Amino acid sequence: MSTIYSLIPEAETLLALEPEELAGVVLQHLNSLPPDASELNRHNFSLPHVVQEYPRQHHKQLNRALMEAWVWLEREGLVAPNPEQGIL
């Protein structure tokens, strides 16, 4: 499993990416997860554990950037809610 941190360990580097650039990293992370992983929905992906390896002072900005990338993936049709999970 690849964490976001293992893919981009520097918070500043991650924050410098445009949403469509970061979206590729998010897809790489999601593709490394097992099919039943809890992060495979928007809500769980936005929880603090996703950025816990980064310095605390960056958590809010990192979560925002990652959610912008997630929404970009949704808009492009690359991720979609799973109706069986009941969470969007």
Closest CA to 76 of 34, 4, 26: 26
- Give the mean pLDDT of 45-63: 95
Percent of the chain with pLDDT over 70: 92
How open is the CA angle 37-22-34, to the nearest 5 degrees?
15
> pLDDT for 1-33, tens place per residue?
899 999 999 999 999 999 999 999 999 999 998
Predicted TM-score (pTM) of the model is 0.88
Q: For the chain, which residues make up each domain, given as ranges?
A: 4-75
Q: What is the DSSP string of 48-75?
A: GGGGTTS-GGGHHHHHHHHHHHHHHHHH
- Which of 43-47, 72-76, 84-88 is predicted with the least confidence, judged by mean pLDDT? 84-88
Closest CA to 68 of 11, 26, 5, 38: 26
Q: How confident is the model at residue 34 (pLDDT cuts 50, 70, 90)?
A: confident
Q: Is 76 helix (H, G, I), strand (E, B) or coil?
A: coil
